[in-house]
Structure 1
Amino acid sequence: MDWGRKLAGMLLLVLFILTMANDKVQSYLQIPNEITTFESASSYIEEMLEGSGQVTVKKEKPASATVEVGGLPPKQTSVKKIPDLKVIPGGDSIGVKLQSDGVMIVGFHDVVDGKERFSPAKKAGLKPGDRIVEMNGNEIDKLEDVVHRLEEMNQERRLTMKIKRNTDLHEISVNLHQGKEGNVLGAYIRNAASGVGTLTFYEPEQGKFGSLGHVIADSDTKKPITVENGKIMRSSVTSIQRGTNGDPGEKQATLASDREELGEVTKNTSFGVFGKLDADKMDPHKPMPVAFAQEVKPGPAKMLTVIEDEKIEAFDIEIVQSMPQMQAASKGMVIKVKDEELLERTGGIIQGMSGSPIIQDGKIAGAVTHVFVNDSTSGYACHIEWMLEEAGIDTFAEERQGAA
Structure 2
Amino acid sequence: MKSNKRKLTGICLALTILFIGFSSPVQNYANIPDEIRILENDHYEIQPSLPIKIYVTSGQNEQVLSLNGNETLAEDLVEVNLGKPLKIEPKDIGEVTVEFRLFGYVPLRSMEVNIVPDRDLIPGGESIGIRSGAGEVIVTDHYFLQTQNGELSPAKEAGIKAGDSIVKVDGQKIRDIDKTSKILENTLEESSSINITVRRNNEFKKTTVESRYCNELQKKSIGLYLADSSLGVGTLTYIDKKNNTFGALGHSVSDFTNRDGSFRDGRIVNARIVDIEEGKSGKPGQKRGVFVEEDQPYGKVEKNTDFGIFGQIEDEQVDTTSVNKKSIGLIDHVDEGEAEILTVLEDDKVERFDIEIKRLMPQNSASGKGMVIEVTDEELKEETGGIIQGMSGSPIIQEDRIVGAVTHVFVNEPTKGYGIFLEWMLYEAER
Q: How does 1:2-401 map to 2 (within 5 A)?
A: 38-41=39-42, 80-82=91-93, 83-99=117-133, 104-114=138-148, 116-117=150-151, 130-132=162-164, 142-144=166-168, 179=212, 186-190=223-227, 192-218=229-255, 224-233=261-270, 235-256=271-292, 260-284=296-320, 285-392=323-430
Query: How far, CA to CA, are the matches of 2:154 and 2:294 in structure 1?
Result: 44
Secondary structure of the equivalent of 1:227?
coil
Please report how far the alpha carbon of residue 78 of structure 1 lies from its aligned counterpart in structure 2 after TM superposition. 8.2
Please report how far the alpha carbon of residue 365 of structure 1 lies from its aligned counterpart in structure 2 after TM superposition. 1.5
Distance 1:190 1:146, change over 3 A: farther
Which has the bigger relative contact order, CA under 8 A and spacing at least 6?
Answer: 1
Please report how far the alpha carbon of residue 93 of structure 1 lies from its aligned counterpart in structure 2 after TM superposition. 1.7
Query: How far, CA to CA, are the matches of 2:294 and 2:169 in structure 1?
Result: 31
**Identity rate, percent:** 38
- Residue identity in the other structure for 2:277: Q
Distance 1:224 1:117, change over 3 A: same
Q: Deviations for 1:292-332, whole angstroms, at most 9, x for unmatched residues? A: 23443332221111112322222111222222323222222
Secondary structure of the equivalent of 1:228?
coil
- Residue identity in the other structure for 2:279: G
- Residue aligning to 2:82: none
Is residue 240–residue 249 contact of structure 1 (8 Å, CA) maintained in 2?
yes
Distance 1:62 1:286, change over 3 A: farther
Distance 1:117 1:253, change over 3 A: same
Distance 1:180 1:300, change over 3 A: same
Is residue 100–residue 191 contact of structure 1 (8 Å, CA) maintained in 2?
no
- Residue identity in the other structure for 2:304: N
Distance 1:390 1:177, change over 3 A: same
Query: How far, CA to CA, are the matches of 2:266 and 2:410 in structure 1?
Result: 32
Query: How far, CA to CA, are the matches of 1:331 and 1:66 in structure 2?
Result: 32
Query: How far, CA to CA, are the matches of 2:337 and 2:345 in structure 1?
Result: 24
Distance 1:37 1:371, change over 3 A: closer
Q: Deviations for 1:145-169, whole angstroms, at most 9, x for unmatched residues? A: 8999xx9xxx9xxxxx9999xxxxx
Query: How far, CA to CA, are the matches of 2:258 and 2:264 in structure 1?
Result: 16
Query: How far, CA to CA, are the matches of 1:265 and 1:36 in structure 2?
Result: 26
Provide structure 2 residue ranges, at least 5 long, that are not aligned to the other structure. Answer: 1-35, 48-62, 71-77, 80-87, 94-116, 173-186, 193-197, 202-208
Please report how far the alpha carbon of residue 281 of structure 1 lies from its aligned counterpart in structure 2 after TM superposition. 2.2
Distance 1:289 1:225, change over 3 A: same
Distance 1:146 1:211, change over 3 A: farther
- Residue identity in the other structure for 1:275: G
Please report how far the alpha carbon of residue 40 of structure 1 lies from its aligned counterpart in structure 2 after TM superposition. 3.3
Query: How far, CA to CA, are the matches of 2:239 and 2:39 in structure 1?
Result: 20
Query: How far, CA to CA, are the matches of 2:365 and 2:351 in structure 1?
Result: 31
User: How many equivalent pairs are there?
Assistant: 317
- Residue identity in the other structure for 2:120: K
Please report how far the alpha carbon of residue 185 of structure 1 lies from its aligned counterpart in structure 2 after TM superposition. 6.1
Aligned-CA RMSD value: 4.9
Q: Deviations for 1:48-89, whole angstroms, at most 9, x for unmatched residues? A: 9xxxxxxxxxxxx99879969xxxxx99x9852332143221
Distance 1:231 1:317, change over 3 A: closer
TM (normalized to structure 1)?
0.62
Is residue 101–residue 227 contact of structure 1 (8 Å, CA) maintained in 2?
no
Q: Deviations for 1:109-148, whole angstroms, at most 9, x for unmatched residues? A: 231233744657899xx99xx534xxxxxxxx53438999
The farther-off stretch of 292-301 and 253-262 is 253-262
Query: How far, CA to CA, are the matches of 1:92 and 1:86 in structure 2?
Result: 18
Query: How far, CA to CA, are the matches of 1:105 and 1:62 in structure 2?
Result: 53
Query: How far, CA to CA, are the matches of 2:297 and 2:288 in structure 1?
Result: 19
Query: How far, CA to CA, are the matches of 2:313 and 2:42 in structure 1?
Result: 30
Provide structure 1 residue ranges, at least 5 long, that are not aligned to the other structure. Answer: 1-34, 49-60, 69-73, 133-140, 156-160, 165-175, 395-404
Query: How far, CA to CA, are the matches of 1:383 and 1:107 in structure 2?
Result: 38
Distance 1:222 1:67, change over 3 A: closer
Distance 1:225 1:190, change over 3 A: farther
Q: Which has the larger radius of gyration?
A: 1
Secondary structure of the equivalent of 2:243?
coil
Secondary structure of the equivalent of 2:317?
coil
Please report how far the alpha carbon of residue 102 of structure 1 lies from its aligned counterpart in structure 2 after TM superposition. 10
Distance 1:117 1:37, change over 3 A: closer
